[in-house]
Structure 1
Amino acid sequence: MPTMFGIVDLFAGPGGLGEGFASLNVGRHAPFRIGISVEKEPSAHRTLTLRAFLRDYGGRHGVLPQEFIDFHAGRSSEPDWSAVDSEAWQQAVNEARVLELGTEAAATAIDGTISALKRKYDDTILIGGPPCQAYSLVGRVRSRGKIGYVPEEDARHYLFREYIRVLDKLRPAAFVMENVKGMLSSTVESRLVFEMLMEDLASLGTGRGHHYEMRAIRVLDSRASLQEPNQPSDFIVRAEEFGVPQRRHRVIIVGIRSDIAGRASGAQMAISGMERTVRDVIETMPALRSGISRGLDDAATWQGEVRGAAQLLADISKGKESRALCDAFMSVAKQLKHCAPKLRATTQLPDGYGSSNDALLQWIERPELGAIAQHETRGHMASDLGRYLFAAVFGCVRGYSPKAADFPLMLSPDHRNWHSGIFNDRFRVQLAGQASTTVTSHISKDGHYFIHPDPMQCRSFTVREAARLQTFPDDYLFLGNRTQQYVQVGNAVPPFLAAQIAKIIYLTLS
């Protein structure tokens, strides 16, 4: 029989990394099965549990349950999943655990699962990464402003030690640890966190069996492989090289148990090598308008606000150097005068949905679905609509996102640091013809860094559009309120990338 690997997924979030491993099929063989996924945030745990249920249900029945299709489409409230399929639901509850790593309860649950996985599967894999806030440069700056904050006492710096404890207990064939680039320069007690981590990893198994050899994922000539690293930066993986429409750069450490590490040098796989763009994944999505967060919010009011801003921007862009901008603003104003009002939300499937020959769209689109879910816009202040419009038009005409100095004075926000350079990228349009910038949990705040490239929509990305940039399939439903949904999407590993990492590891171990 083909080799089967049981997965332990720590710090799972909504399950992006686990989704990549669980979805891998080699021939008709799915080599990776999640035994336990651990997440402490309740809304992400709900998402994780539902996905585990759908995965198990699909394995039993070969289709999505109709109850989910109706719930996904907004035609019904969330059903009692245990009544839909009690066995699949019980499996999901056993798999997805809402636990805080580092506690006794979490250690007991994980250790019990480890024993079961060792009995059930040929070998095991450990995946996940400690929370990135304490490692990221931004996280350190924000935390420094907290009264009484002492970096050395921040428990998040030491959560990776729980990962090490589980790794030592599990002794898997391989592990995958993911984190932000900031961890390469983060320090605690004047020591580099990365150095401390590598020392801990290297010490495992010393004097009592097999140790782990570290490998970096390298890309050369459109082929990916596991190689011995020469320097810490070798561990940085660039998602866009793997066909993800996002310039997301993360540290990914792969450890191979020394008794099988010799196989890693020969394992490699072809990747697309072609940069995918924002347009590739959102172009077919139904067009929407943003809302107005203060005051009257209806289509006519919105069109009046945006049209007025377009006309004003056209008037102040009539200088010779800005002729192209002027024409673009005039075009928007004319179209808004005659176009039909747009909706703020829709579940309508795009034309030709599920019939693409494109590998990325085949990954994202799920023909069983009857609707698009979570494609609903946020409200923005009327004053921000002009800034969104300017950024989108500027991006179309100039081919890059405007800096603060590029904005007309009339659009300057009431902020004393606007012209200081600190907020140079406060409003950032994602360009249709390029991969997006990194989708982060900050998208939950206001959307200013994730402005839609179409000036006629004048808005930030919806949850579903952000999820598509992260390569989540359309049947991946994020539970919780909209802010929680954005946070889940931004914190995840792109599943399309995770599936390719899973394949490299499978080729190494098989």
Structure 2
Amino acid sequence: MQNKIYNFIDLFCGAGGFAKGFEMSGKFKCIGGIDNKKSAVETHKLNFKNSVSVHADIREFSPEKLHELIGQQKVDVIIGGPPCPTFSTIGHAKIQSVNKEKGDCITEDPRNILFMDYLEYVKYFKPKMFVMENVPQFLTKYKGATYKEVKRIIKRDLPEYHIVEEVKLLNSVNYGVPQNRRRMILVGHLKDYTFNYPKITHWFEGSNYNIDPNDENVDSTKLKPHVNVKSAISDLPKITDNWRINECEYSKHENLDTYQKLMRQNTNGLVANNICRMSNERAKKVFGHMKQGDIYMDLPKEIRQILPFREDIFKDRLKRLVLKNPSWTILAHIGMDGYMYIHPTELRTLSVREAARIQSFPDNFVFVGNQQETYMQVGNAVPPIMAKAIAESVYSGLTNLNR
């Protein structure tokens, strides 16, 4: 019997890294997405042919409208990462105080209506399961008060859902992504279903964030070795600083490793988004003095003076990637200058495609927008390969395979 394909919608979808991972599992179909960034929605629309990708502010776009646009289709799963600005700005005392009129302190800040709107979509569509991702600080901010308050609101507003109690931080490097990147994953499901977090498959000895300390012991000798930066980018087109040709041929066609073969599936020998920013001459002169793994403060003072920064703040303003290691986290700031992602062997920063490879976007995933927009779409995304592992656990829970 053919496996059932479940429909999902993608809230705060961005370019669609989270959604791409779900579709890569072969068990889910994205039928709708919504985001307030136009270029990101254009990217989402291009890469998800079955999706109605909506450019709108979710605060002004009701779930009823989205339901109408997707042809009243059943939504089995909702995914997304609602931004929660207050989590990083309010004080500990305020998060603990409950507003008597509204019943919670989260809604005191109107920006957090984004979080509440996510829940409104869950309340309306009644999916079998919802998956919410966020930064690790979501769990620890103000000694956990923020997380406890959010969980209380979910239980109050969505009593029919079971919230997986031991919310975990997953590190993408442990799922075959060539990058150390941690995300909080919160899952809620109707009582008839289950969810277990995906087991890790890869190990990087040098990571401080391989597993949650509370997890059962893991025998790292039985796991696959981490995927490194060399695997991620060494077969991509040979380019230069300030490269302007979008679509290019690969530089390597033989002896591809497992990761490179995976990334190049369903391509025609060409790959897009090879755009690379131009670094100024002072920066490139400094790059030439950096070894792999060096940061700004590793350089002699006379070299730092070529491109001076405030050294009490910007100690790692410049960082050179290491071929044999996974990358550190690709952030949206890569859209600004890229100095934290200096190519391991060349006098330039990463191209959009190289950053996308480190994020585990397949090469047939094409980004739409100007240079800064495409870099930021990559940096804001959930790594698709890690999302695929989450999707497979969701599928197991929906089909009762975990019982």
TM-score, reference length from structure 2: 0.81
CA distance in 2, matches of 1:132, 1:283: 37
Asked whether the 8 Å contact 2:17–2:382 carries over to 1, the reply is yes
Query: 3-state SS of the aligned residue for 1:117?
Result: coil
User: For 2:128, which of 160, 167, 173 is the aligned residue?
Assistant: 173
Distance 1:129 1:490, change over 3 A: same
Partner of 1:286: 237
Partner of 2:36: 40
Query: 3-state SS of the aligned residue for 1:499?
Result: helix
| Structure 1 position 167, deviation (Å) | 1.1
Code of the residue aligned with 2:59 in structure 1: it is G
Query: 3-state SS of the aligned residue for 2:131?
Result: strand
User: For 1:445, which of 328, 336, 360 is the aligned residue?
Assistant: 336
Partner of 1:247: 180
| Structure 1 position 185, deviation (Å) | 3.9
Pairs within 5 Å for 1:235-314: 235-261=168-194, 264=195, 271-272=201-202, 273=223, 274-291=225-242
TM superposition outliers: structure 1 runs of 4+ over 4 Å: 132-137, 151-154, 267-270, 343-346, 413-416
User: For 2:112, which of 157, 172, 183 is the aligned residue?
Assistant: 157
The alignment status of 1:383 with 2:383, answered yes or no, reads no
Code of the residue aligned with 1:476 in structure 2: it is F
| Structure 1 position 186, deviation (Å) | 4.1
Code of the residue aligned with 1:240 in structure 2: it is V
Distance 1:205 1:414, change over 3 A: closer
| Structure 1 position 285, deviation (Å) | 2.1
CA distance in 2, matches of 1:357, 1:18: 25
CA distance in 1, matches of 2:266, 2:116: 43
CA distance in 1, matches of 2:134, 2:282: 37
Partner of 2:155: 202
Unaligned runs of 5+ in 1: 26-30, 57-91, 141-150, 215-227, 292-342
The alignment status of 1:365 with 2:264, answered yes or no, reads yes
Query: 3-state SS of the aligned residue for 1:472?
Result: coil
| Structure 1 position 438, deviation (Å) | 0.5
CA distance in 1, matches of 2:309, 2:362: 42
Q: Pick which of 236-245 and 273-282 moved more.
A: 273-282
Distance 1:136 1:44, change over 3 A: farther
Percent identity (aligned): 27
Q: In proportion to residue count, which structure has more helix?
A: 1
Deviations 1:425-446 (A, max 9, x none): 0111111111101101100111
Unaligned runs of 5+ in 2: 92-105, 203-222
Distance 1:193 1:157, change over 3 A: farther
Distance 1:432 1:411, change over 3 A: same
CA distance in 2, matches of 1:362, 1:132: 37
Partner of 1:221: none
The alignment status of 1:476 with 2:365, answered yes or no, reads yes
Query: 3-state SS of the aligned residue for 1:13?
Result: coil
CA distance in 2, matches of 1:369, 1:385: 34
User: For 2:68, which of 100, 112, 124 is the aligned residue?
Assistant: 112
Code of the residue aligned with 2:239 in structure 1: it is L
Query: 3-state SS of the aligned residue for 1:379?
Result: coil
Question: Rg bigger for which structure?
Answer: 1
CA distance in 2, matches of 1:458, 1:235: 38
How many residues of Structure 1 are paired with residues of Structure 2 in the alignment? 362
Asked whether the 8 Å contact 1:204–1:211 carries over to 2, the reply is no
Deviations 1:256-279 (A, max 9, x none): 222223xx46x8667344311111
Partner of 1:318: none
CA distance in 2, matches of 1:468, 1:156: 33
Distance 1:416 1:463, change over 3 A: closer
Query: 3-state SS of the aligned residue for 1:110?
Result: helix
Q: Pick which of 267-276 and 42-51 moved more.
A: 267-276
CA distance in 1, matches of 2:79, 2:113: 17
Distance 1:370 1:49, change over 3 A: same
| Structure 1 position 204, deviation (Å) | 3.9
- Aligned Cα root-mean-square deviation (Å): 2.9
